[in-house]
Amino acid sequence: MARIRIEPERPFAVEFDGVSLSMPRSKRRGGQGTRHRIRRLAGESSRQQVPVFADLSTGILPGESVAILGGVKSGREEFLRLAAGTLVPDSGKVHRQGRVVPILDDSRCLTPSYTTRQNIYLTAGLLGMTPDETTERLDWIVEMAQAGKWLDSFLRGAPRNMRQRLVWTVSMATGARIFAIEKSLVIGHGEFMERCWSHVEGLRGSGVTFLIAIDEPEVLERFCERALVLKGGSIIADTTVEEGLRLVRQSRRTDRTDRPEEQGDN
């Protein structure tokens, strides 16, 4: 994880101050003729820096639960990674009141050839917990994730949803006051999902800050009171969740309508 700057005297839990960011993107090789066709068939591509954000400024207050909305390439993931400090902006600054724990991927940090216990310590370490802190919270992690049966067995033998449970539960065990969540706010089904809801609603009630970029409108409407809508490298709306979702749906309809016209002009 990148080193992050924490500035507890600032009024915002997370503040973007004139942030600009470009990311490398692969582009399929174009051109006419046999040589270019052979290169395309071989999968050759070029890489270029594509702007994601330009002079982006906004602030998230402590205790807010904010939905980060936008299309597929709107920069939602990059926004969360910048907030958590796992991406560093090209210019501008991201200020934080405390550690921001990202819940961005539920599988890459886990190793099937390690035991469930070893994966818990590995994941906790990646999220900034010391071994002593992990040991102190191990019983809660195991009970919450319902992992006791597989604790000292290789993770490859555990149910598939155990990986997701472990990452989510260890993340919640960090004691962080700010979370940046991309995949799911709550996980599982039935009783386990209700336990997750009970936990995150308790955290929200205690003043924990959430930045959430997920594709579950009903969850966002239930949990968030504010929405930031991203498009074209900037925030086009800072509004309610209901209005933000409406703007995103409207933008998608417009994009689908405009696409055939653009193709017809070429």
- Over residues 73-124, the pLDDT tens digits come to 899 999 999 999 999 999 999 999 999 999 876 567 899 999 999 999 999 9
CA nearest neighbour of 54 among 251, 231, 255, 228 = 231
**What are the tens digits of pLDDT across the range 116-156?**
999 999 999 999 999 999 999 999 999 999 999 999 999 99
Residues facing 93 on adjacent strands = 17
Nearest of 204, 210, 205 to residue 178 by alpha carbon: 210
Beta pairing class for 45-60 and 14-28: antiparallel
pLDDT (0 to 100) of residue 72: 80
Domain boundaries, the chain: 102-175
Q: What is the DSSP string of 196-223?
A: HHHHHHHHHHTT-EEEE--S-HHHHHHH
Q: Is the pLDDT of residue 3 over 50?
A: no
Predicted local distance difference test score (pLDDT) of residue 25: 75
Q: Report how far residue 243's alpha carbon sits from residue 162's, in angstroms, rounded to the nearest whole number.
A: 36
Question: How far, in Å, CA of 68 to CA of 239, rounded?
Answer: 11
Alpha helix ranges (H) inside the chain: 34-41, 76-84, 116-126, 131-145, 161-172, 190-205, 217-223, 241-265
Angle, in degrees to the nearest 10, between helices 161-172 and 116-126: 40
pLDDT above 90: residue 227 = yes
AA identity, residue 61: L
**What pLDDT sits at residue 258?**
61
pLDDT for 160 beyond 90: no
Q: How far apart are CA 217 and CA 241, in angstroms?
A: 9
How far is residue 249 from each of residues 46, 70, 225, 242, 262, measured CA to CA in Å? 32, 9, 19, 11, 20
**Chain segment 12-60, per-residue pLDDT in tens:** 999 999 999 998 876 655 566 676 666 656 655 556 888 999 999 999 9
The band of 253, judged by pLDDT with boundaries at 50, 70 and 90, is confident
Side-chain-facing half-sphere of 153: CA atoms under 13 Å: 10
pLDDT tens digits along 55-77: 999 999 999 999 999 988 899 99
Question: Quick one: 11 exposed, middle or buried, by C-beta within 10 A (0-12, 13-18, 19+)?
Answer: exposed
**Which position has the token pair 């086009």?**
236
**Entry pTM:** 0.83
